[in-house]
Amino acid sequence: MKKKLTVAEDPAEMVPTDSTNEKQDEEAPLKAKRSKPEGADGEEVVYQPVKLSRSDLYRPPTAEELNQLKEAESLFHCSLLKMKMEELLKEVALRERRKQQIDSFIQTITKLLQAVPDSPEVEVSDLSWLSGAVKIPFLLVPKTSKGKFHMAPPASVDLIGSYPLGTCIKPRVMADLAVTIPADILHPKDVINQRYPRKRALYLAGLAQYLTSSSDIGTMRYSCLHGNRLRPVLLLTPPGKDSSSFTVRVHACPPPGFFKPSRFHPQRNNIRTEWYTGLQTSQSESSEPPTPHYNSSVLGDLLPRAHLQFLSAVSSQCSAFADGVALLKVWLRQRELDQGAGCFNGFLASMLLAYLLTTHRISNTMTAYQLLRNSLNFLASTDLTVNGISLAKDPDSTAPSLAEFHSAFQVVFVDPSGHLNMCADMTACTYKQLQHEASVSIQFWDNPTVDGFHALLMTPKPMIRTSDHVFQLCDLVKLQFSCKKLNLLSELMDHSGNYVQTVLPFILSLLQQGLGQRICLLTHSLSPDPEWSVESEAPKYKAQPPLSFGLLLRPELAASVLERGPPADSPKAAEFRQLWGFRSELRRFQDGAITEAVLWDGKSTCQKRLVPRQIITHLLQLHAALPDSCVRYVAAMVDDVIQIGNEVPSTGEEESLLVVQSYDDLSRKLWRLEGLPLSITSVQGAHPALRYTQVFPPQPLKLDYSFFDREKTQRSLVPKDGKPCPAYITPITVICHMEGSGKWPHDRLAIRHIRTAFHIKLGELLKKHHNYTCRPSPTHLDVWKDGLVFRIQVAYHREPQVLRESVNAEGLLVVRDNEEAQALEMATIHKPLLTSTLHGLQQQHPCFGAVCRLAKRWLGAQLFSEDITEDTADLLVASLFLQPAPFTPPGSPQVGFLRFLHLLSSFDWRNNPLIVNLNNHLTAADYTEIKNDFMASRESLPVMFIATPKDKKLSMWTKRAPCVQMLQRVVVVAAESLKVVERQLMDGTQMQDVRVAMRPPLDAYDVLIHLNPKQVPLLSQAVDPPTVTFSRGVVTSGLAQSGGALPVIDYNPVSLYLTELREAFGDLALFFCDPYGGTVIAVLWKPKAFIPAPFKTSQVSARRVEVRGEEVNTVPNVEAILEDFQVMGQGLVKSIEARTEKWSF
Amino acid sequence: MAPSKKKHASNQPCIIPGGFTVLSLQFSSDSVSQHKLYVKEHRVRTEKSSHRPLDRTLFVLNIPPYCSVAVVKDLFSQFGSVQSVELRDHPGSFKDSEPKLSKFFKPAEKQGFKVGYIVFQNSTSITAAKSHPHDAPLVVCTEQHPVKTGVEKWIQQYTESFVQPEKLQKLVDYFMEDYDKQKEEEAERQKKEAEQQQEDEEGWVTVSRGQKGTKARPHSEAANRRTLQKELKKKKRKELMNFYTWQHKNTQKEHIAELRKKFEEDKQRIALLRAQRKFKPY
C-alpha cells in the first residue's frame, strides 16, 4: 500500500514537467472528460451533494481509475492547488483567436512600415517637414540640437518582448515591435547631448505621420517606456471593435552594435553641462558629472533583440517558464509593481527567472508553482540594493564591475551583456517593497491556515488599502524648487530634466531618515506611463498625477510624540540638529540625561496618530522647500465620524479607557464585598464599551435635576412629559457569577427569585460601603457610579442546564436544547468571553477598537446594525487583525475600515466559512475540520458563517441574522461605499466628503417615518449632526459624581418604538433605523405578505378581508397600518411619508 | 375599500364566510382608517376549561397592540357587562400551568396584534356583538377613557417599572417560602414511600408499583442512552469483522465507493468555482 502511494505521487509531480507530446495527449482527453459535466451544470451555481447511482458507485474499478482515486486522496490539497493554478493561467492566457488577430495586425503594420517614403535631409531642429497633425513625442529642453535627419524605411521590423516569448498575459495585451532606424540617419557621435533620443523621437513621429493616412489602424497614441521620456513609443490599436483588446507598441531602435557599449559605462558623461545649461563653462570633459541613467536608457535601446534571444534560449530549456513568468506577473500586478517608472516589470520577472535557472537555483523540471515560490523566496532573501546580481557569464573587459554599478544605481541587476543595469530606474524603496511583499507572501504560503492561492494571486493590494498612512505630493511643479534647494543640477541633467524622478530618491531617503523606527516600510507609487495623442505635444512633467507615498507603521512607536536624539556633547548631535532644524532642542530627561530632542504636538490618541504627518511636513518644508499645501495627508480622514470631545478632538480611546478604569474599580469593589451568602466567583464585562469597541463610548454625565420629574417612592429621576428626551445613558453590562452550591434550587423560577435576592443584597452592600445609588430589579442591578451606569447581572452557571431539563409525560428526565437556554448562555458565558478576548486583542493592536467603531458606525449609518450585530461586526474586524493575508495587520483606523469594507464586499460567504482564530487556539487540523463540516451541511447553516475556537460548527453570532437578501444588500452597499471612499481619498481633485459613504440611499424603501429630533436622545451622534441642539438635562461643568438620585437609564423612545413596530408588524414589513442619532425609520414591505392569503384565524393580524363569492382572502390593511405608525409613535413621529408610487400591489 | 363591502346596506352586520362578523375599530373619533375585528362565538368541541364557557365567550381576532385588557373590556361592555377578558398572541386552549407570579417576574409580553376571548355575563351579549353594524366603528381612545400611546406611554412604563427593594424582597421571600414548603412536602412524600418499602415489625415488606421517580435505576434520558450504548458495545465485541471473505470484499467495495464520491465532490467544487468565475484575478 505504502509503495503504491509513492508511485502514484511521482507522476502527479511530473506531469507538467514532462513535455513529451504523448503525455499531453493523455491529458487532453482527461480534461475534456472533466469539462463535460461542468458544461451541463454551468448555469446552476449551487453546490449540491453529489448523488451517484448505486451502479456507479459499486462498479468494479479499472486499474487506471484506482490510481487516479488514490492520487486524489493522497494529494488532495496539492492537486486542488494545481487545479486552481491551471484555472488561473487559463484565465490570463491569450486565446488562440486573439493571437491570430495580433499576428495579422502585426503583418499589416510591418507591410505598411516597410513602405515609409524617404524624405529630404534637414537639420534636426527643423520640424517643418512634420505636418501639423503629428507632433514630436519629446520635450525639447534645451531647444538647440546639432545633426541632420531624414526619413527612410526601417532597416528591419522585428517582434520583441513578451509576445514572441509567450509570456504575454491579459489584461493590457501588448505586442512590442522593434523598428530599426537605418544606419545612415544616425551618427556614432549621436549619443552625446540627447541627439540620438531626439532622432529616435523624430523617426517615430515620421512613422506616425505616415501611418495617419492608413485605414488599417484604429487609434494612434504616444507613450513612453516605463515613464522614461527619452524612450517614447508609438501605440497602435486595430480598427473596429477589437480596438481595446490589444495594443501594438512600436519602438525605434538603432541598428544592433551601432554604438559601442563602452560609451555607456555608468561613470561616463554623455550630456555636457555647457549644452544643457546653455552657459559657457570651463569644465573639461573629464570633470563632467557622470550620466548613468541617461546612458542606460540609450543602451537599453540597443539590446532588446539580444535579450529576446537570451530569454528564448532559457525558456526553451524549461517547459514551465512561460507559466512561471505569467504567475509572477499576476503576483506583481496585484501589488501594483508592474507598471510605471522604475517598476519591476514583466521583462525583469522573466530575467529574474532566467537568472535563477542559469545559476541553477531552480531546475528546468520544476512546475510553474515551484518557479513562483522559488523566485519569491529569492527576492525575499536577496537584497539587490547591496548585493547586485549579474546575468553576464564572461563580460568583456570594458564592462563595468558590480561595485561601479552600485555606486551609480540604487538597485543592480545586470543583463547578459554585462553593460546594462536593468533596474536602473528603480528606487531602493521600490525594491524594499518588493522584498517585503515577497517575504510576507512566502510566510502566508507556508501557513497552512491561510488560503495562499487566494491571498497571493487573487487579492489586489492597492496602496490605499495596504499602507497605514498615505500622503500625496500634489503640486509637482514645486519639486523644481526642491531640485534647486537640494542642489541637484547634475542629477537633473542625468534624468534629462525629469525633476520628479530626480528628486524622488532624495525625498525618500530624507523621509526614511526622519521617520526611522516609526515605520517598517516606506513605499511610493510609480508614476504611470503617460499616454497622449499624436496630435498633441508631449505632456509636461507636472501634468502627471500626484506622487503617493505609503507608510507601514510600527504601531508601538509610530505615535510617540518624542524624538530623542543623541546627548548634546556627542558628535552625532550636529547631524541631528541638521536633520530637524529649529524643531530640535536640548531637553533634560528624568534619568538625568541631557539630549537633543524633538517634541511633537498631540494630546489624544487621535492627534498622536498623526505625528508622522507633522514629521513629514516639517522635513519636506525644511529640506525640500515643499510647503504644507503640497502635502495631502490621507490618514484619519474618515475618523471624524466617530469623533467626540469638545476641547481636544478624540476618537474615543480616552473615553473608553475611562469606562474600563471605572469598571475595574467596580469589579475590585465587588470582589471585596463581605456579607454575601455565597461568594462571587467571577466578574466579567459583557459590553462593547469594555472592549473599546463601543462606537460612542459612554461619557460620564452630571445631571441637571430640575430637568426631570421624580418618581414618588424612590425619588429617582423620570423623564418629564413635554420636555426633550433626556440624554441617553447606556447601561454597561457586567456579569457576576456566583459560587455554585447545594443551596441553589433546581427550578427555573426559584433560581430567578434567588438571583433577585442577590441583586437586592448586592445593591444594599454597595450602597452601604460605597454610597452608590443602586436600583435592583429581578433581571439586573443598576449601579450609578462616576457618572456611568453599570448593569450587574448575577448568573448561576448551572441555570442553562436547568432550563434545558424537563420531565416528559412518562416521567423521564429529558434534556432538550431551547432558545431560552441558548440566550442565557450567550449572555452569561459567550458574551463575557468574547469581550475579554477582544479586550486582549486591543492590547496587541492599538487601533483595533477604532476600526471596530468605524465599521459599526458605517453599518449603523447604512441601516444594517440590526442584521450585522455589534458582536458580529467586532468578530469581522478581529479577523482582519488575526488573519490579514495578504496584508499586514491594519496600523490605522482608516486602512482597517477600508479592509473591513473590502472583506464584506468580496468574501465568498456561499462557499467559505470565515474562521476567526481568537487567541490562536485553532490548529490547521481544526481549520480542515471546520471547512469539511461547513461544506457538508452548508444549506442548514447561517448564510454568514463565522467560526471561532469556541464555536466551530454553529456560528452562533450570525444565527439570527443576516438573511440572504440582507447579506446581498450589505455586499452591494459595501462595494459601492469602498469605491466611493477610495476614490475620494486618492483623488485630491474631487469634492472631499467621505461622509457620502455614510448616507444611506433611502429611495429603495416603501415608507419613511420621520422622527421628531426633540425625542431622539442620540441626535448629536448622527452622521450629519443637525444645527439645532436640545437641552437634555446634562450639566457640562463639574465632575460626575456617584451618589444622588438615580438618573433615567436606558430610556430611548426610538428603540422602544422600533421594538413595538417590529412586534406588531414584523411579519408584514422590515424596519431600519440608524441607532446613532438616526431621525428616519425606513420601512420595507415584505412582498410575500402582500399576496392575498386565504382567511386563517392565525394569520389575520392587521389584515382586512376581501370576499369573492365563497372565497375569503386577506390582505394587509395598509391605511390602518400607516395610521398605527402614527398612533404608536405619538409624540415621537413627525410625519409619515408613504411612497405609494413605488408600491406594486 | 374592497367592493364587497359596499353591498351591505348600512346598519347591517357584515358577516363573511366562515361565520365571522366584521367589526370596525378606530383609534380615535377623528381617525381616517379602521382596523377590522373578526368576532365569532367561541365554539370548540374539546373545551374543558371553565374559564371560557361556550355560550358566553366571544372569540375576537385582530386586536391592535394599543388595546390592553382594560381597553377591550371597555370597548365590549357596550354589548353587555363583561366578566373577563383574555388576550393572547395566538388562538389556543387555555393554559394555567404557570404559577401566579408578580408582574415584575413575568417575562415581557409581546406587544403585537392579539386574539381575545371575552366572557360576558350574559349570553345575549354575544348576539348583540355579532349584530353590531359594520359601519359604526368602535372607538379606542375617547375623552372619558384616554389611551396613552407613544412617548406618554413610554414615560409611564418607565415610571411604573420602579419597585421598592423592600417590596421586591418580600415578593422573593413569599415565593421562596412556598417553594421550600413544596420541596418539603415532596421530600416527606418520598420518605414515606421509602418507609413503606422497609420491613415492618413482623418482617414483611409491602411491595407495590410505587410512585414514579422512586425507581432504583436513574430515570433520565442520558442514563437510558448510556445503558443502550453499553449493550451495543457488548454486542459489537462479540461480532466478527472481516472474518468471511465476503465481508472483506464488502469493506473494500465500500472504500472505493467512498473515494469515488469524494473525487466527484472535489470535481464539482472546482467546477462550481469555475462557474462563478472565481479564478479571474482582476
Q: Residue A142 — very low, low, confident or very high, per pLDDT cuts 50/70/90?
A: confident
How do residues A690-725 score in pLDDT, each as one tens digit?
Answer: 999 999 999 888 888 888 888 877 778 888 888 889
The pLDDT score that the predictor gives to residue A77 is 55
What is the rounded distance in angstroms from the CA atom of residue A726 to the CA atom of residue A196?
A: 80
pLDDT of residue A286: 66
Domain for residue A507, yes or no?
yes
State phi, psi for B199 to the nearest 5 degrees: -65, 140
Length of chain A: 1145
pLDDT at B11: 67
Binary contact (B172, A760; C-beta < 8 A): yes
For A711, which residue in chain B has the nearest alpha carbon? Answer: B159
Q: Does a structural domain hold residue A985?
A: yes
* SS3 at position B41: strand
Which of A534, A423, A530 minimizes the C-alpha distance to A476?
A: A530
- The alpha carbon torsion through A1003, A1007, A1013, A1014 (nearest 10 deg) reads 180
On whether both A937 and A1023 belong to a single domain, the answer is: no
The mean per-residue pLDDT over the stretch A1048-1061 comes to 92
pLDDT of residue A1: 37
Which residue from A857, A854, A875, A853 is spatially nearest to A865, judged by alpha carbons? A857
Cα distance from A1132 to chain B (closest Cα, Å)? 6
Give me the pLDDT at residue A41, please: 37
Q: What is the mean pLDDT of residues A760-768?
A: 92
CB contact under 8 A, A45 and B179: no
Query: Which residues from A are below 8 Å from B267, CB to CB?
Result: 34, 37
* pLDDT given for residue B2 in this prediction: 41
Residue A1011 confidence (pLDDT): 93
Chain B residues with CB-CB distance to A1102 below 8 A: 35, 62, 64, 113
User: What is d(CA A636, CA A469) in angstroms, rounded to the nearest whole number?
Assistant: 8
* Burial zone of A696 (CB within 10 Å; 0-12 exposed, 13-18 middle, 19+ buried): buried
The strand pairing partners of A790, in sequence order, are A732, A783
A1064 in the same domain as A1011: yes
Confidence of residue A25 (pLDDT cuts 50, 70, 90): very low
Say if residue A606 is in the same domain as residue A481: yes
Mean pLDDT of chain A: 86
Contact at CB, B260 and A52, closer than 8 angstroms:
yes
Q: Bridge-partner residues for A1073, per DSSP?
A: A1081
Mutate to test the interface with A, among B42, B101, B172, B277 (most CBs of A within 10 A): B172
CATH code of the domain covering residue A611: 3.30.70
Tell me whether residues B256 and A72 touch, CB distance under 8 A.
Answer: no
First to last CA, chain B: 55
Choose, out of B8, B60, B149, B160, the residue to mutate when testing the contact with A (most A CBs < 10 Å).
Answer: B149
CB contact under 8 A, B274 and A87: yes
Q: pLDDT, tens digit, for every residue of A593-630? A: 888 999 998 888 888 899 999 999 999 999 988 888 88
CB contact under 8 A, B278 and A41: no
Residue A462 vs residue A286, higher pLDDT: A462
Q: Is the pLDDT of residue A17 over 50?
A: no
Q: Do B158 and A1051 touch (CB under 8 A)?
A: yes
Closest CA to B40 of B26, B54, B25: B54
| Lowest-pLDDT choice from A110-119, A227-236, B85-94 | B85-94
Which residues in chain B touch residue A372, judged by CB atoms under 8 angstroms apart? Answer: none
Is A816 contained in some domain? no
- pLDDT of A843 reads 92
Partners of A750 on chain B (C-beta within 8 Å) are 175-176, 179
- Closest Cα in chain A to B281: A458
| Residue tagged 513609443 (cell numbers) | A233
Nearest to A73 among B35, B259, B271 (CB): B259
Q: List A732's β-bridge partners, or say none.
A: A790
pLDDT band per the 50, 70, 90 thresholds, residue A488: confident
Residue A751 lies in a domain: no
pLDDT for the residue numbered A52: 65
Chain B interface, best mutation among A58, A337, A1130, by max B CB count within 10 A: A1130
What is the pLDDT confidence band of residue A894, given thresholds at 50, 70 and 90? Answer: very high
Q: Which of A749, A1105, A1128 sits opposite B66 (nearest CB)?
A: A1128
Rounded to 10 degrees, the C-alpha dihedral A1107/A1112/A1115/A1116 comes to 90
pLDDT, tens digit (0-9, with 9 covering 90-100), for A1086-1112: 988 888 888 888 888 888 888 877 788
Packing angle, helices A964-986 and A893-906, rounded to 10: 140
Rounded to whole angstroms, the Cα distance separating A173 from A236 reads 12
Q: Are residues A175 and A243 in the same domain?
A: yes
With contacts defined as CB-CB under 8 Å, which chain A residues touch B250?
none
Strand order in the sheet with A531-533: A156-160, A174-180, A247-253, A232-236, A220-224, A531-533
CA torsion sign for A269, A273, A278, A280 is negative
Residues of A in contact with B33 (CB under 8 A): 1117, 1119-1120, 1122-1123
Residues A253 and A104 in one domain: yes
- What pLDDT, on the 0 to 100 scale, is given for residue A474? 86
Task: Report the percentage of chain A scoring pLDDT > 70.
Answer: 93
Which residues in chain A have their CB less than 8 angstroms from residue B61's CB? 1097, 1100
Q: Indicate whether B217 pLDDT > 90.
A: no
Higher pLDDT, B19 or A670: A670
Chains A–B, number of C-beta pairs less than 8 Å apart: 258
Distance of CA A1141 to the CA centre of its chain: 40
| Structure confidence at residue A8 (pLDDT) | 36
Question: What is the Cα–Cα distance from A1012 to A1134, expressed in whole angstroms?
Answer: 5
- Could you give the angle at the alpha carbon of A293 between the alpha carbons of A287 and A296, nearest 5°? 110
Q: What is the mean pLDDT of residues B113-129?
A: 88
Instruction: Check CB contact under 8 Å for B151 and A757.
Output: no
Backbone angles phi, psi at A1137, to 5 degrees: -110, 105
- A248 domain-assigned: yes
Please check the confidence at residue A5 and state whether its pLDDT lies above 80.
no
Per the omega criterion (within 30 degrees of 0), is the bond before A962 cis? yes
Pick from A31, A44, A53, A57 the residue to mutate for testing the B interface (most B CBs within 10 Å): A57
pLDDT for residue B5: 41
What is the pLDDT, as a whole number, of residue A824?
92
Which residues in chain B have Cβ-Cβ distances shorter than 8 Å to A908?
276, 278
Between chains, do A1101 and B267 touch, taking CB under 8 Å as contact?
no
Q: What is the number of other CB atoms lying within 10 angstroms of the CB of residue B200?
A: 10
pLDDT value of position A646? 67
Q: Measured between beta carbons, which residues in chain B are less than 8 angstroms from residue A1132?
A: 150-151
Query: Does A1039 lie in the same domain as A969?
Result: no
Do residue B172 and residue A1131 have CB atoms under 8 angstroms apart?
no
A837 falls in which pLDDT band (50, 70, 90)? very high
Strands (E), A657-707: 680-685, 702-703
Please identify, among A259, A293, A320, the residue that sits at the C-terminal boundary of a domain.
A259
Q: Note whether B62 contacts A1053, CB cutoff 8 Å.
A: no
Contact: A1127, B149; criterion CB under 8 Å: yes
Chain A hits for B104, Cβ within 8 Å: 777-778
Highest mean pLDDT among A270-274, A942-946, B232-236: A942-946
pLDDT in tens, A1059-1091: 999 999 998 999 999 999 899 999 999 988 888
pLDDT greater than 60 at residue A590:
yes
More confident residue, A811 or A97: A97
Q: Among A381-385, A684-688, A746-750, A945-949, which is the least confidently predicted range?
A: A746-750
Question: Of A999, A1015, A1043, which marks where a domain is finished?
Answer: A999
Same structural domain, A185 and A108: yes
On whether residue A407 sits in a domain, the answer given is no
Q: For residue A963, give the amino acid letter.
A: C
Chain B residue nearest residue A69, CA to CA? B259
Residues on chain B touching A1110 (C-beta within 8 angstroms): 17
What is the C-alpha to C-alpha distance for residues B192 and A999, in angstroms, rounded to an integer? 73
Question: Whose CA is closest to A64, among A14, A8, A19?
Answer: A8
Mark whether A944 and A1027 lie in a shared domain: no
Same domain, A64 and A157: no
Residue A1016: give the domain boundaries. 1001-1142
Facing residue for A1064 by CB, picked from B65, B105, B158: B65
The stretch A631-637 carries a mean pLDDT of 87
A379-383, A782-786, B220-224 — which is least confidently predicted?
B220-224
Share of chain A above pLDDT 90, in %: 37
Q: For B211, name the nearest residue in chain A, comparing CA atoms only.
A: A811
Instruction: Assign residue A1043 the CATH number of its domain.
Output: 3.30.70.3030
Identify whether residues A611 and A521 lie together within a single domain: yes
Residues of B in contact with A775 (CB under 8 A): 162
Adjacency order of strands within the sheet including A562-567: A562-567, A594-599, A585-588
Calculate the alpha carbon distances from B184 to A331, A698, A744, B176, B187 in Å: 76, 48, 15, 12, 5
Residue B168: CB partners within 8 Å, gap ≥ 6? A756, A760, A776, A777, A778, B104
Q: Which residue has the cell 383609534?
A: B27
How close does chain A come to B12, measured CA to CA in Å? 16
Residue A854's pLDDT band, with cuts at 50, 70 and 90, is very high
| Inter-chain touch A750–B4, beta carbons under 8 Å | no
**Owner of C-alpha cell 497614441:** A221
Mean pLDDT for chain B?
80
Same domain, A193 and A245: yes
> Is the residue at A462 inside a domain?
no
Number of domains in chain A: 5
Per-position DSSP letters for A1017-1056, written without gaps between them: TTGGGSSS--S-----SEE-SS---SSSS----S--HHHH
Q: Collect all residues of chain A within an 8 Å Cβ-Cβ radius of residue B224.
A: 812
Q: What is the pLDDT of residue A689?
A: 93
Helices A292-302, A195-211: axis angle to 10 degrees equals 50
Chain A contact set for B271 (CB, 8 A): 37-38, 41
Does residue A596 contact residue A570 with C-beta atoms inside 8 Å? no
Distances (CA, A) of A544 to A165, A225, A430, A475, A498: 32, 15, 19, 10, 11
ipTM over 0.85 threshold:
no
Average pLDDT, integer, range A250-261: 88
pLDDT digits (tens, 9 = 90+) for A997-1015: 889 988 889 999 999 999 9
Cell readout for A1089 is 405578505
pLDDT for A61 beyond 80: no
pLDDT tens column, B23-45: 888 888 888 888 888 888 888 77
Q: Does the pLDDT at position A649 exceed 90?
A: no
- The pLDDT of residue A119 is above 90: no
Q: Note whether A919 and A982 are same-domain residues.
A: yes
Of B104, B115, B256, the CB nearest to A61: B256
Query: A732 near A690, Cβ under 8 Å?
Result: yes
Under an 8 A CB cutoff, do A1053 and B4 touch? no
Does some domain include residue A448? no
Question: Where does a domain end: A999, A1023, A1044?
Answer: A999
Minimal-distance CA residue of chain B relative to A88: B279
CATH of the domain at A118: 3.30.460.10
